[in-house]
Amino acid sequence: MRKALRKLAPVWAAMLLMLPATVKYPAAAYAEEPQRSFVIIGETGLYAREGGGGRPLGSISPYQSVKLAPGAPFSFYDERKPEEWLKVRTWLGDRWIRDDERVLYGTYEERKKTLTLIGTVRLFDRPDVETDTGQSLAPQEIVTTAELHYGPKYVINATSASAQTGTWYQVETTWMGPKWIFKPALMEDVYAKTVDYDLKLSGAETAYEVPYDGEGKGEAVEPGVVHAIAKWQYSPQAFFVFTWYKVRLPQGERWIKPKNEVLEDYKALNEPVKLTTKTRYFEERMPSYDRNLWLEPGVYKAVQNVGDWTKLETPAGMKWVNLKRALLERPEGIVPIEETVKLTAETQTYRFPATGEMAHLKGFFAPQEVQAFEKWTSPEGTVWYHIKTFSGTEWVKQ
pLDDT of 46 higher than 50 = yes
Residues 341 and 369 sit within 8 Å (Cβ to Cβ): yes
Question: Is 295 a domain residue?
Answer: yes
**CATH number of the domain enclosing 259:** 2.30.30.40
Question: Is 237 a domain residue?
Answer: yes
Does residue 276 share a domain with residue 258?
no
Q: What is the DSSP letter of 130?
A: G
- C-alpha 312/C-alpha 289 separation (Å) is 20
* Residue 3: per-residue pLDDT: 36
Residues 82 and 106 sit within 8 Å (Cβ to Cβ): no
Average pLDDT over residues 56-78: 86
Does residue 282 share a domain with residue 339?
no
* Residue 280: per-residue pLDDT: 97
- C-alpha 5/C-alpha 283 separation (Å) is 44
* Residue 347: per-residue pLDDT: 96
Side-chain half-sphere of 122: how many Cα atoms within 13 Å?
A: 13
Does residue 223 share a domain with residue 282?
no
240: alpha, beta or left? (left if phi > 0; alpha if psi -120 to 50): beta
Q: What is the pLDDT of residues 114-143, one digit of tens each?
A: 999 999 999 999 999 999 999 999 999 999
* Residue 153: per-residue pLDDT: 83
Closest CA to 245 of 235, 237, 308, 234: 234
Does residue 257 share a domain with residue 270?
no
Domain endpoint, select from 292, 308, 329 = 329
Q: What is the pLDDT of residues 207-254, one digit of tens each?
A: 999 999 988 789 999 999 999 999 999 987 777 899 999 999 999 999
Q: What is the DSSP letter of 163?
A: H
Number of domains in the chain: 3
Residue percentage of the chain with pLDDT more than 70: 88
Q: Which residues pair with 150 in a beta bridge?
A: 106, 166
Does residue 276 share a domain with residue 251?
no
210: alpha, beta or left? (left if phi > 0; alpha if psi -120 to 50): beta
Question: Is 375 a domain residue?
Answer: yes
Average pLDDT over residues 191-211: 97
Question: Is 348 a domain residue?
Answer: yes
52: alpha, beta or left? (left if phi > 0; alpha if psi -120 to 50): left
Does residue 238 share a domain with residue 282?
no
How would residue 17 be classed by pLDDT, with cut points 50, 70 and 90? very low
Question: Is 131 a domain residue?
Answer: no
pLDDT of 76 higher than 80 = no
Residue 63: cis peptide before it, omega within 30 degrees of 0: yes
pLDDT of 75 higher than 90 = no
Does residue 275 share a domain with residue 223?
no
Domain endpoint, select from 233, 263, 293 = 263
Residue-averaged pLDDT of the chain = 88
3-state class of 31 per DSSP?
coil
Does residue 198 share a domain with residue 259?
yes
Average pLDDT over residues 68-81: 73
Average pLDDT over residues 293-310: 97
pLDDT of 265 higher than 70 = yes
Torsion of CA 257, 263, 264, 269, to 10 degrees: -150
For residue 64, count other CB atoms closer than 10 A to its CB. Answer: 18
How would residue 5 be classed by pLDDT, with cut points 50, 70 and 90? very low
CA–CA distance from 112 to each of 169, 171, 250, 256 (Å)?
10, 9, 39, 32
3-state class of 187 per DSSP?
helix
Backbone angles phi, psi at 290, to 5 degrees: -65, 120
- C-alpha 349/C-alpha 385 separation (Å) is 10
Does residue 196 share a domain with residue 248?
yes
* Residue 79: per-residue pLDDT: 60
Question: Is 301 a domain residue?
Answer: yes
* Residue 54: per-residue pLDDT: 87
- Write out the residue range of the structural domain in which residue 234 sits: 190-263
Domain endpoint, select from 228, 263, 298 = 263
Question: Is 235 a domain residue?
Answer: yes
Question: Is 285 a domain residue?
Answer: yes
Kindly give the residue spans of alpha helices, DSSP state H, lying in the chain. Answer: 158-163, 323-329
Least confident range of 107-111, 119-123, 137-141, 149-153: 149-153
Closest CA to 125 of 46, 51, 41, 232: 41
Backbone angles phi, psi at 44, to 5 degrees: -130, 125
Residue percentage of the chain with pLDDT more than 90: 77
Determine which helix (DSSP H) or strand (DSSP E) holds 46, and give its type and residue range: strand 44-46
Least confident range of 38-52, 233-247, 357-371: 233-247
Q: What is the DSSP letter of 10?
A: P
Strand order in the sheet with 166-173: 64-67, 37-40, 103-116, 141-151, 166-173, 177-182, 121-124, 132-137
- C-alpha 310/C-alpha 308 separation (Å) is 7
* Residue 23: per-residue pLDDT: 31
* Residue 321: per-residue pLDDT: 98
Q: What is the pLDDT of residues 313-326, one digit of tens each?
A: 999 999 999 999 99
Does residue 272 share a domain with residue 241?
no
